[in-house]
Structure 1
Amino acid sequence: MSFELSIDWPEFLATYWQKKPVVIRQAFRDFQDPISPDELAGLAMENEVDSRLVSQNAKGWQVAHGPFTDFDQLEESHWSLLVQAVNHWHPAAAELMHPFRVLSDWRMDDLMVSFSVPNGGVGPHLDQYDVFIIQGAGKRHWRVGNNDVIAQHSPHPDLLQVAPFEAIIDEILEPGDLVYIPPGFPHEGYSLENSLNYSVGFRAPSAKELLSGFADYVLAHELGSRRYQDADLRLRDNASTVLTDEVETLRKMMISLLHSQDFTPWIGEFLSQSRHELDIAPPEPAYQEDEVRSAVEEGTPLHRIGGLKVLQLAEHTFINGEILSSADSNFLSLLANSTIITPTQLQPFTENPVLLAQLTGLINAGYWYFAEEQDDA
């Protein structure tokens, strides 16, 4: 299943991206849901999958976290089932991410899918990341406000909402319609009937996350061991005084780490890691190199597992938080830019024993799989 998205990307980036929200009617023409409500409910029963059930009743807002065992006690209205990173677990749904790859793989986070009954929603809220919300089956009423300063509150410990706001978008979305919402714009969506929604979210790391991640890397690799020095130490009137230039020297010691050659491999490792668990299932028994070569010769395409990030930065290629080294840049580019690799593309590399061994290792790590494995699952 493939999806064609009707967006003029240069115009969209210039006019809307991180500037203002917009509804795009029939962004996906003749839209067909890649996943059913029953399949989504099945994912929410799995331990590895992050899911939650948000409902509202006379007692207020309620939030329950998966995995769930059943949904028999649910009412006919006022609840939503939300499942994160569906693209990691459902190949057909993962296809919805492909049209957005033009905006960069490292910025893309995951595909959240929600099933809502009439009046189901999570209440008015705002996000700190860009999101494209695609309407699947059913209809949903969306309101989006301006990015004014709005007070947030928690009607439930696991739910953060905002106060009522004046809408600048007030629309009913039907299958194939899309609403784009930049960070900081309050919004709320309520289903008018049983409906599916697909939210393509974009990663936006905070300075706190970056600093914490880099600090962990520095400690793990025993970097930054150079100590403070002050060969030009000056006397001061009071022993308690810390001089401004001393503070600046300490600051420069920290900044020098960010400008060191170690920063690039760390940022590549950091950005290529997924926030959600991947569906990594190493083949059993493991492939032998001749078996990989035979599969390619037989015309079997190679698929990348959903959600796996393969990023290229400077002269490095990163896969799921690790540097992948190879003497063949074309081989690395093929891995990075193709989620499905055809036998024709692979065949020249399987003739190279070194690259064949490397490819076999990646398949045995569970990062790529031959297409028939999916059919047998």
Structure 2
Amino acid sequence: MSVHPAPRTPSPDASAAALASLVVDLQARGLRVEVPLERRRGGAGPTDSGMLWVGGVPLTVPMDNASAAGSPYVLRAEDEGYAVFRDGERLAGASAQRRPRFYDLSTADGVPYWKIGLLHLDSFASTVVQTCAYWGNADQCRFCGIEVSLDAGRTIVKKTPEQLAEVAVAARELDGAVDATLTTGSSNGVDRGARYVARCARAVKQAAGLPVEIQFEPPRDLDVIDEVGEMGVDSVGIHVESFDPDVLARVAPAKARTGIERYFEAWARAVDVFGRGQVSTYVILGMGEDPGVTLDGCRRAVDLGVFPFVVPLRPVAGSLMEDALPPDGAYTERMYRAVAGYMAARGMHSSIAKAGCARCQACSGLTPVASALRSSPLLQIGRPPQAG
């Protein structure tokens, strides 16, 4: 049974295009908050953000960085729930995730459940191994904060399959979790950590009955992807981060050495195993990428059956890019339109995904932009946007 307020539906007079633009701008500029709100601080995932529904759209919004402190948007309480305002004008109703009940529980050996897994709106999520072979050396991904939460004592180094299964059951029964997303830092092994996170996924599925996505880098031996499928995993995220090779070399040197073509090889194998729409990749906007190269990569991924999960850069406190600025909302929205338009033409949409980030969509504006395009096809653009 879910204990968070039911997400609201858009008001009849709120156009899909206006809601999409609001969502995109909120993710670019952040949100000032005048009410208590459950939020995620530091580390991997949608960090330094609040989790809420705006106009019925699931959303993670920056609330704890410099941009948010100067945002023109503010979240205020109403008689029933909350609303987003700008310059005193009410723009959209909102509802927030309350503190999950399972956070108040602990394992038999005293580990708080919230150190094992978190609730991202309606998704149970965990970084099962909170260390990475790239952290603290020249290969560290500049946008990543995987070990920040570990250093702050907000998690444990390695979660066991048994711990994750126990907490996932509580997340489903007490807080209405509908799927699980398990990720991991990269290892130097042949499987890059995929086998262990798949074992954890199998335990969660068997205990909680939730569909599960796991995330890992392309294994050196692609047969590992078949092994992962045999363990009952539903969806996988294999994240290239950027299709621009120059950007990738600058922000994620180890991924650049893997090479973008190797990602396509891994995706092709994964689509064969898990099916079209069950394989996704993060594509981060705002790191200086070439828009044309980025859109070409997204289109090629869609043609292969891969969901390009396009998101704006969200600078993480404690990462090597903590002082970077998120991309301009207008640029991000134009890129969303181009990607969403192509995905619609190819029959790719978030409802296909069984689990994971592509199913949840809260960190991206793709879904509301896609809804706006369905309402007003003329919003689509025919040429790549200029970087913003």
What TM-score, normalized to structure 2?
0.22
Greater per-residue helix proportion = 2
Greater per-residue strand proportion = 1
What TM-score, normalized to structure 1?
0.22
Structure with bigger gyration radius: 1
